[in-house]
């Protein structure tokens, strides 16, 4: 299991660009990397276009998985936003956590004041994972 997730400021900026682009809807995407280090952030369309829920567009998600595999990377994180401000997993996030080995990154905030927290979600339980943003 990943004990911490490390991304660059550039990855964080890419995620925030996507989050702000779709506000007030939830944004979502995949984090590809090796071990605990993010190499690429891949946004995926939220087909629900919801403020409180996300579902990744299947073809985009498949293409992202294929890219990750072709590059020899691993899926190490799945991110989504909570534009209404909740900074931890919702009950829906817990119920629909299908990849317990990866870090679920939640970007939360309002009015451009965004922050992120990471979690392992397994069997209805959550365990916080530090998310480090480096230069």
pLDDT at 135: 87
Three-state secondary-structure class, residue 50: coil
Examine the pLDDT at 104 and tell me if it is beyond 90.
yes
pLDDT in tens, 74-89: 999 999 999 987 899 9
Domain boundaries, the chain: 5-134
CATH class of 5-134: alpha beta
Confidence of residue 61 (pLDDT cuts 50, 70, 90): very high
Query: What is the rounded CA–CA span in Å between residue 98 and residue 94?
Result: 9
Average pLDDT of the chain is 96
Query: β-pairing, 5-8 with 131-134?
Result: parallel
Closest C-alpha to 86, from 68, 109, 69, 102: 109
> Which of the residues are catalytic?
26
Examine the pLDDT at 112 and tell me if it is beyond 80.
no
CA-angle at 76, arms to 25 and 71, nearest 5° = 105
For the sheet containing 5-8, what is the strand order?
A: 125-129, 113-122, 103-110, 74-82, 28-34, 37-44, 5-8, 131-134
Confidence of residue 44 (pLDDT cuts 50, 70, 90): very high
DSSP state of 48: T
| Main-chain dihedrals φ then ψ at residue 8, nearest 5 degrees | -85, 165
Three-state secondary-structure class, residue 58: helix
Query: What is the rounded CA–CA span in Å between residue 41 and residue 32?
Result: 6
């Amino acid at each position: 299991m990943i004990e911490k997730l490390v991304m660059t400021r550039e990855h964080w900026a890419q995620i925030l660009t996507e989050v702000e682009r779709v506000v007030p809807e939830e944004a979502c995407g995949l984090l590809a990397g090796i071990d605990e280090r993010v190499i690429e952030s891949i946004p995926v369309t939220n087909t629900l276009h919801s403020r409180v829920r996300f579902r990744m567009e299947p073809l985009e998600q498949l293409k992202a998985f294929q890219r990750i595999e072709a590059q020899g990377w691993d899926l190490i994180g799945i991110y989504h936003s909570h534009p209404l401000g909740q900074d931890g997993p919702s009950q829906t996030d817990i119920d629909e956590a299908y990849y317990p080995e990866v870090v679920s990154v939640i970007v939360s905030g309002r009015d451009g004041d965004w922050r992120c927290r990471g979690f392992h979600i397994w069997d209805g339980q959550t365990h916080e994972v530090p998310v480090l943003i480096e230069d």
